[in-house]
Amino acid sequence: MGFIVKILLTGVAAMLAAYILPGVAIDGFLTAIILALVLAVLNAIVRPILIFLTIPVTVLTLGLFLLVINALMILMADALVAGFDVSGFFAALLFSLVLSIIVAILDMIF
């Protein structure tokens, strides 16, 4: 049950973040839910591999390279989900930051 609630909260957060940020568009709430599922799968499978492969760069940048990995996850989700469009790398970076903040706030509330 917790996973379903987390996916729904992430979908709501994605809709809010897309509404706030220029350069990010989501067609509807169903697309946001699909985006949340795709991001969950990417974060579970691809993100650990990327983190492992980029350990030296992450150490050199004191962990700031993880922001780049988050933006890459958003860009991969953009390629996989129809109805979700991100205009570029910096829009994906801002979207990942805003999405994380909104999810954290919604997680504290619920």
pLDDT tens figures, 9-19: 999 999 999 99
Closest C-alpha among 67, 14, 69, 5 to residue 36: 14
Confidence check: pLDDT of 71 > 90: yes
Check pLDDT > 90 for residue 56.
yes
Segment 42-48 mean pLDDT: 96
DSSP run (H or E) holding 85? strand 84-86
Give the count of domains, the chain. Answer: 1
Element (H, E) at 24: strand 24-26
Distance CA 91, CA 107 (A): 24
Q: Which residue has 């940048």 as its token pair? A: 61
Confidence (pLDDT) at 32:
97
Cα–Cα distances in Å, from 39 out to 20, 24, 57, 63, 78? 19, 15, 23, 21, 10
What is the residue range of 94's domain? Answer: 2-109
pLDDT tier for residue 110 given thresholds of 50, 70 and 90? confident
